[in-house]
Amino acid sequence: MKTLILNAHPNPGNSHTQQFLYEALGGQATYVDLSQEDPEVSHLKDYDRIIFQFPLYWYGAPARLKDWLDQKLTGKEGFLAGKDLGLVVAFDTPEKDYGAGAKNRYTVSEMLRPYEMLANFFGMDYLPPFSLFQWRYLSPEEQWEALVAYRLYVLGPKRPSFAQKGAWLLQELAHIEGSQLLSSYLSDQLDELADLNDLLKGEQA
Amino acid sequence: MTWLDQEIEKLKASSKDYKDRALLHVLHLYLKETQKRIDDAKGQLDGQMWSPRDW
């Protein structure tokens, strides 16, 4: 699977969060900084998954993304059919501020509806947005978890089940030197859980 | 410390890559959750086997 990330931060080099996300990729996706580049829409057809990545500015993306969409995104309905559209959004505010009855009243999903409509127009599969809240306040362990979750979102199976996440982790583990014992253990655990779940389904039928 | 804890810590210590250490940390959490689900599933199966209603 080929992933394209379109980063709409006005100056990602000056952002700790964007630098963190960039390093997390390990060069495994095509990364475009929209403040420096102006890709053509036809370029999008080369990819399976397209990610709009940006910090939240006044409940939307920075102007650069809207500029690029307005100028470049001319296309027929269904032009990008079958491809995924994902959003990676960095927040300077806490998660608790989004939702019914919360400070900002609406959920993140509701706030980002225009992108879902865009995906629908172009025949794309719109993925649940990936939100990263206040990265600088995360503990080291939480940052590790955010890094892996980001890689899974950008590079891994979409809407992964627990088992699919395990299979993806097994793949990722393969390149760590000396991890064969751990890989074998993970594989055995996944098989055992799958067998037990099959038995349970059989018992309940 | 279990075998799993030791194995994860050993690999983390020998890894120079931040991403690898992150992966090992998440894998550790995932394996603990997997074991919990295995134990729950076994418990559920045991419960069903011993339930007179299901005989």
ipTM: 0.91
- Please, what is the Cα angle at A25 between B26 and B32, to 5 degrees? 10
pLDDT of residue A10: 96
Q: Which residues, at least 6 apart from A161, have a Cβ–Cβ distance to it below 8 Å?
A: none
- Please, what is the Cα angle at A180 between A174 and A183, to 5 degrees? 65
Q: Cα(B12)–Cα(A17) distance, rounded to whole angstroms?
A: 23
Do A175 and B17 meet the contact criterion of CB atoms below 8 Å apart?
no
Q: Cα(A76)–Cα(A63) distance, rounded to whole angstroms?
A: 24
pTM of the shown model: 0.94
- Please give the full DSSP string across A112-124, using - where no structure is assigned: THHHHHHHHHTT-
A85 three-class SS: strand
Neighbours of A115 (CB within 10 A): 21
- The chain A residue lying nearest B29, using CA atoms, is A145
Nearest to A189 among B10, B29, B35 (CB): B35
pLDDT of residue B25: 97
Q: Determine whether A91 is exposed, middle or buried from the number of CB atoms within 10 Å of its CB (0-12, 13-18, 19+).
A: middle
Segment holding A90, helix H or strand E: strand A84-91
Average of per-residue pLDDT across A66-85: 90
- Residue B19 exposure: Cα atoms within 13 Å on the Cβ side: 19
Give me the residues paired with residue A33 across strands.
A7
What average pLDDT does chain A have?
Answer: 95
pLDDT of residue A43: 87
The predicted-structure confidence for A13-59, as pLDDT tens digits, reads as follows 999 999 999 999 999 999 999 999 999 888 899 999 999 999 999 99
Q: Do B45 and A203 touch (CB under 8 A)?
A: yes
Q: Which amino acid is at A106?
A: Y
Q: Cα(A44)–Cα(A50) distance, rounded to whole angstroms?
A: 7
Phi, psi at A159, each rounded to 5°: 45, 55
A178 three-class SS: coil
Percent residues over pLDDT 70 in chain B: 93
- The chain B residue lying nearest A204, using CA atoms, is B48
Interface residues on A facing B, Cβ-Cβ cutoff 8 A: 23-24, 26, 141, 143-145, 147-149, 151, 162, 165-166, 169, 172-173, 176-179, 181-182, 185-186, 189-190, 192-193, 196-197, 199-200, 203
pLDDT of residue A120: 96
Dihedral sign computed on CA atoms, order A142, A144, A148, A151:
positive
